[in-house]
């Protein structure tokens, strides 16, 4: 359970930092009738939707940390046989990076008000994300053809489970991206447009980060890394 605890420490750090800016040591019973004196303590200047997405990403992060925790615990048991990762995953990683970059370009374009570039960025991001999903399915097929079935070894089970869960999140993201694209083509209000492109980009970058972590986990680098850390500590 170490991964999830580390994750929670990070979340607690954020929460603590935020709380430390909220005058938790105030004496509210002595502070009557001074509504004007609390500028900055009412709400954050960030758009509400961004904060909402941030909270949601914390939940998603929690979910994948728990999968990683379970992975490490199960890995320690004797019947674990790591499976060879298909080369295709490298290509998929590249495609997903491309997708993130395209969305980042869309964000920059949206800030400058270049709608053509926004549309181009959104379309590229959508297509590359779809390509990533297709690539993941092909990797699955390649593995099953090579005899690495879901139930034949826990390492395989975890591989399919975690990549599948990540794929579902990308799929959900594509729904959001689709809605943003519809807005981009139908000419939604520019500030609204910019916000929703930014939200998509935020989600995309986070899922890219999650994917890189998953890749490191499944390839065994994460375990090696932890091993090295442990040796350094002892």
Partner 1 sequence: MVDVTPADAVPPAEVAEVELYHPHSWWTKYVFSQDAKVIAVQYSATATAIGLVALVLSWLMRLQLGFPGTFDFITPEAYYQFITMHGMIMVIYLLTALFLGGFGNYLIPLMVGARDMVFPYVNMLSYWVYLAAVLVLVSSFFAPGGPTGAGWTLYPPQAIMTGTPGGQDWGIILMLTSLILFIIGFTMGGLNYVVTVLQGRTRGMTLMRLPLTVWGIFTATVMALLAFPALFVACVMMLLDRALGTSFFMPAIVEMGQQLQHNGGSPILFQHLFWFFGHPEVYIVALPAFGIVSDLISTHARKNIFGYRMMVWAIIAIGALSFVVWAHHMYVSGMHPYFGFFFATTTLIIAIPTAIKVYNWVLTLWRGDIHLTIPMLFALAFIVTFVNGGLTGLFLGNVVVDVPLSDTMFVVAHFHMVMGVAPILVIFGAIYHWYPKVTGRMLDETLGRFHFWVTFLGAYLIFFPMHYLGLMGIPRRYAELTDMTIMTESAHHLNSFISIMAFIVGFAQMVFLFNLIWSIRHGREAGGNPWRATTLEWQTPQTPPAHGNFGKELPIVYRWAYDYSVPGAKEDFIPQNVPGNFGLSKEPA
Find out whether 224 and 75 touch, Cβ atoms under 8 Å.
no
Q: Number of C-alpha atoms within 13 angstroms, CB side, residue 120?
A: 8
175 scored as a contact of partner 1 (CB under 8 A): no
The residues in 53-72 that bind partner 1, with binding defined as CB under 8 A, are 55-56, 58-59, 62-63, 66-67, 70
Contact residue for partner 1 among 3, 4, 107, 217 (CB under 8 A): 4
- Choose the stretch contacting partner 1; rule: CB under 8 A; options: 42-50, 102-110, 205-213, 217-225: 42-50
Of 169, 58, 188, nearest in space to 122 by CA = 188
Closer residue to partner 1 in complex, CB, 56/221:
56
28 scored as a contact of partner 1 (CB under 8 A): yes
Q: Which residues bind partner 1 (CB under 8 A)?
A: 1, 4-5, 8, 11-12, 15, 19, 22-39, 41-44, 48-49, 51-52, 55-56, 58-59, 62-63, 66-67, 70, 73-74, 77-80, 150-151, 154, 157, 161, 165
């Amino acid at each position: 359970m170490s991964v999830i605890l580390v994750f929670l420490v990070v979340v607690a750090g954020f929460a603590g930092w935020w709380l430390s800016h909220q005058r938790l040591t105030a004496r509210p019973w002595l502070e009557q009738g001074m509504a004007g004196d609390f500028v900055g303590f009412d709400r954050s200047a960030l758009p509400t939707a961004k904060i909402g997405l941030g909270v949601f990403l914390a939940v998603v992060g929690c979910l994948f940390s728990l999968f990683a925790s379970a992975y490490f615990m199960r890995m320690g048991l004797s019947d674990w046989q790591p499976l060879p990762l298909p080369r295709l995953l490298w290509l998929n990683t590249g495609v997903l990076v491309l997708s993130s970059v395209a969305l980042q370009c869309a964000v920059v374009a949206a800030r400058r008000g270049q709608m053509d570039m926004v549309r181009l960025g959104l379309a590229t991001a959508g297509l590359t994300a779809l390509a990533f999903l297709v690539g993941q399915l092909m990797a699955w097929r390649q593995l099953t053809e090579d005899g690495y079935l879901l139930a034949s070894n826990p390492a395989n089970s975890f591989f399919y489970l975690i990549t599948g869960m990540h794929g579902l999140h990308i799929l959900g993201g594509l729904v959001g991206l689709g809605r943003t694209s519809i807005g981009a083509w139908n000419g939604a209000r520019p500030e609204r447009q910019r916000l929703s492109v930014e939200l998509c980009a935020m989600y995309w970058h986070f899922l890219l980060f999650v994917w890189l972590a998953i890749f490191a986990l499944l390839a065994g680098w994460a375990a090696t890394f932890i091993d090295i850390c442990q040796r350094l500590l002892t």
